[in-house]
Amino acid sequence: MQELTHYIDGAHVSGASGRFADVMNPATGEVQAKAPLASTDELNRAVEVAAAAQPAWAAVNPQRRARVLMAFVGLLNRDMDKLAEALSREHGKTFPDAKGDIQRGLEVVEYCIGAPQMLKGEYTDSAGPGIDIYSMRQPLGVTAGITPFNFPAMIPMWMFAPAIACGNAFILKPSERDPSVPLMLAELMEEAGLPKGILQVVNGDKESVDAILDHPVIQSVGFVGSTPIAEYIYSRGCAAGKRVQCFGGAKNHMIVMPDADMDQAADALVGAGYGAAGERCMAISVAVPVGDETADRLIEKLVPRIEKLKVGPYTAGDDVDYGPVVTAAAKENILRLVQSGVDQGAELVVDGRDFSLQGYEDGFFVGAHLFDRVTKDMDIYKQEIFGPVLSTVRAQSYEEALSLAMDHEYGNGTAIFTRDGDTARDFANRINIGMVGVNVPIPVPLAYHTFGGWKKSVFGDLNQHGPDAFKFYTRTKTVTARWPSGLKEGGEFHFKAMD
């Protein structure tokens, strides 16, 4: 049985708390490794190392810091397959999905290579008589991130790349369910030239999370996960005087107008609803066709596509559409919600409850499900399922469809499929959701824009990656300077002699 480690001060460090979490192989249901769960003392040790290393890193000019990220990009590309294999083995997602996870993180690293441009301040010459004013963007110091299981490569890079580019040290607390890739990323950053102590990985659970939130040296905390935990981390971190950004749950609606290309809409829903087994915060989990005729046409297109989906282990290669969910508990929760949908009167059009994969009976595989005639009061509509389940809520008008998305407590992402520009423009302008797709089912912005939702999907006023990341990981210092180096007499300056 492999025993994983922490990564502190440039070295793999065995856990000292005596507590461990099982790291499963979701395809087989077997325990494949043990991840140490750090004590408060172990977390404090990482903070001590980071605090000692950070000032020297902050003194390195931004261009040289960017060169480390440039080298890191090369190493990521070199080791892409190795990283993806490790990611798939612990998470369960298909190999192409795993490579996509790494690629989207890599793109943010590439954006952060532009740190010298992003960190430039402002300057006003002669704001007053002999007075100049200028601003500087300076690092916070020691920063931290608490990342989820569903993107064990992408989201850590979304956090540590801008933090480090800005001159901070960063402590990463990854999910204990799939911690191997974050450890590998830390190794690659140091191979790229990052000094020891600037990026450290501390595996753990609530004890280490609370230690991060309470530690006075840690200046900022980023989090991605469920809304209840996001609220907890945001309130506790802010109470401790930290800068905090937390991203929570989602219930993403895709409105399908009568004029939409129905084949395009159906293909988009299958990819966005069932890809990665639905374990994505930007997954489409609610289809909203406008009008019963539209709904009937959409369901007719969806059913054969969903029934053809191939579910299996990542080792099956490109012949698999999605893999298992991450844990047995996740599978149990998905099936519980599916049953609640049946009990509450929704029509289960595609039933994946009895799905079983020969040779992998103990794996955490969940068949694809499609519900029709779902209503707003049902649990499958109100709750984030985080599994391969698509709910169809029929709307009788565009305004009703719009209100469904606007009235839901989550506001992460949404989409509309239509050929009508006026409808699309109205939707984009009026919807109270942070990321909007027009004929794009998963509207995740590219690295040079910011990622973030509204309402109970986010806590904090700055988003991830893009320009907001450089704002989050720096503070602005403004200097007003006057240099009385001479005395004006008779219209001329007489400068003092320099010693």
Greatest CA separation for the chain: 98
Phi (first) and psi of residue 287, to 5 degrees? -100, 135
Alpha helices in 169-291 (DSSP H): 180-191, 206-214, 227-239, 262-274
Distance CA 37, CA 14 (A): 10
Contact 281, 224 (CB under 8 A): yes
Q: Among 155, 430, 135, 384, which residue's Cα sits nearest to residue 284?
A: 384
The 6-8 sheet, strands edge to edge: 11-13, 6-8, 199-201, 169-173, 142-146, 218-224, 243-247, 458-459
Phi (first) and psi of residue 429, to 5 degrees? -75, -35
Distance CA 383, CA 410 (A): 10
Contact 165, 157 (CB under 8 A): no
Distance CA 338, CA 343 (A): 9
Q: Token pair for residue 11?
A: 């070295």
- Please, what is the angle between helix 80-91 and helix 180-191, to 10°? 160
Q: Token pair for residue 85?
A: 């294999």
Contact 175, 92 (CB under 8 A): no
Q: Token pair for residue 407?
A: 């009235």
Contact 330, 364 (CB under 8 A): yes
Angle, CA of 125, 127 and 129, to the nearest 5°:
100
Helix (H) or strand (E) holding 203: none
Q: Is 281 a catalytic residue?
A: yes
Contacting residues for 288 by C-beta, under 8 A, at least 6 apart: 253, 254, 255, 256, 392, 393, 394, 395, 401, 404, 405
Q: Of 112, 166, 246, 281, which is the active-site residue?
A: 281
Q: Among 485, 479, 489, which residue's Cα sits nearest to residue 130?
A: 485
Known catalytic residues? 281
